Amino acid sequence: MPRTVAWSREGLQQLAAIRRFVSEDKPGAAFKLALRLRNSTNILATFPDSGRAGLTPETRQWVIPGTRYIATYTVTGEQVRILSIHHGMTDWKPDEN
């Protein structure tokens, strides 16, 4: 049975920031990219183990097809929770807290 996909506040804020950044040069592309990033994560509802093991325990990372973005997520019970989304070329490290 498929799980539900939920986004954390931080993940949604990062998605909005990506859209704002891209829209500076390509407003139409920004909308399409944000929609693709958001909708593509829905595959994790059916295939939650698609991603690789994350840098932080209990997390997974999934490279979103056709993009250079990576979603970090957790799977608990019947839910996949998108914790963050970032460009694969950024120097990203998990919080040490």
Q: What is the pLDDT of residues 49-89, one digit of tens each?
A: 888 998 889 999 999 999 999 999 999 989 999 999 998 87
Task: Give the integer Cα–Cα distance in Å for 90 and 51.
Answer: 18
Which CATH number covers residue 62?
Answer: 3.30.2310.20
User: pLDDT tens digit string along 6-62?
Assistant: 999 999 999 999 999 999 999 889 999 999 999 999 999 999 988 899 888 999 999
Domain annotation covers residue 42? yes
Beta strands in 13-89 (DSSP E): 52-53, 60-63, 69-76, 79-87
- Does the residue 24 lie in any domain? yes
33 inside domain: yes
Q: Name the more confident of 95 and 81.
A: 81
- Asked whether the beta carbons of 64 and 41 are under 8 A apart, the reply is yes
Q: Dmax over Cα atoms in the chain, in whole Å?
A: 41
Instruction: For residue 78, tell me if it sits in a domain.
Output: yes
As for how many domains the chain has, the answer is 1
Amino acid at 31: F
96 domain residue, yes or no = no
Q: Is residue 95 part of a domain?
A: no
Any domain includes 94: no
Distance CA 80, CA 76 (A): 7
pTM of the model: 0.86
Domain that holds residue 42: 4-87
CA–centroid distance for 60 within its chain: 10
